[in-house]
Amino acid sequence: MKEKKLLSFLRQAREILSDFFPAGSVALLPLLLASLTWAVNRRSEIKSRLLGLKVWLEPETLQNKPAEFILDFFAASPELKTAFASEINSQNLKALRPAFRALYPILGLQDPFLERLFSEELRNHDYRQVVAEFRPRLQQALEEIEAARVRNNFWRTLENLTEGFLSLGWRLLAEDDIREQLKKIIDRV
């Protein structure tokens, strides 16, 4: 797939979707990226996926992981190990648990929507900022989607975009490859 073709598709998609979102929206690009990534493996149900976003991002089981699992999550990643060195060394779970709740869905479960929502911070390895911003920004993004989804043709438009994306031949690639390609290019949109 030519980079130029993808870039042009993404620019067009952004323009179409921008009708549904306010200027400076935090949700638009994460929504676009996530929809295209999901579309590759799970074509038809972008809608249920997005409506379920709020539910699965904070399932109870994630809040109740053993201390060792949380410590291992931070210690196993060199970047997290550096960013949270003092908390890891002192095994300060009071500080690590809330950080884990924000970072695990992004880095542990690799949710494409959240990855894009915090792409700037992730690129700069500013994990503390992700933790600080997690709830308010997610809330803002969900409110934007909520406002967009009640408008006429929103889902149809999104589905048409993913169909258009798949018709460019992306379904032949694995989700990993697509995610990488999209990540590389979406900042230029």
Partner 1 sequence: MRPAKGVGLRDQDGFTRIVLIFFLVLFLAACATSLSRARYYLAQAQVRERSFQTAEATALYKRSLMEAERAVKKRPSAQAYLLQGLAEVRLSRWSEASRSFSLAASLGEDKAENWAREVSLYGLALSLEEQGLVESALRLYSVLSERGKFSPVVQAALGRLVDNRLAQLDGVPEKEREKILSKNIEIVGKALDSDPACGYYHYLLAQLLGHQQKYQESFQEAVMARELGLPTLEIHRDNDNYIVFCYRQLRESLTGEAWTEFRQTYRLWIEKWNWPDEETPDWKRR
Residues of this chain that interact with partner 1 (CB under 8 A) are 38, 41-46, 48-49, 52, 56, 59-66, 68-69, 72-73, 76, 108-110, 175-176, 179-180
Give the shortest CB-53-to-partner 1 separation in angstroms.
11
Q: Residue 167 Cβ, how far from partner 1 at the closest point, in Å?
A: 19
Q: Which is nearer to partner 1, 30 or 105 (CB)?
A: 105
Residue by residue, DSSP assigns 42-87 as S-S-HHHHHHTHHHHHS-HHHHT--HHHHHHHHHHSHHHHHHTHHH
Angstrom distance (rounded) from CA 71 to CA 88: 7
- CA distances for 151 relative to 1, 22, 91, 154, angstroms: 33, 13, 48, 6
Q: What token pair was written down for 187? A: 């900042």
DSSP 8-state assignment for residue 172: G
- Closer residue to partner 1 in complex, CB, 41/139: 41
CB of 178 to partner 1, least distance (A): 11
Closest CB to partner 1 among residues 94, 188 = 94
Residue 110 identity = Q
* Shortest Å distance, C-beta 12 to partner 1: 25
Is the Cβ of residue 62 or residue 147 nearer to partner 1 in the bound state?
Answer: 62
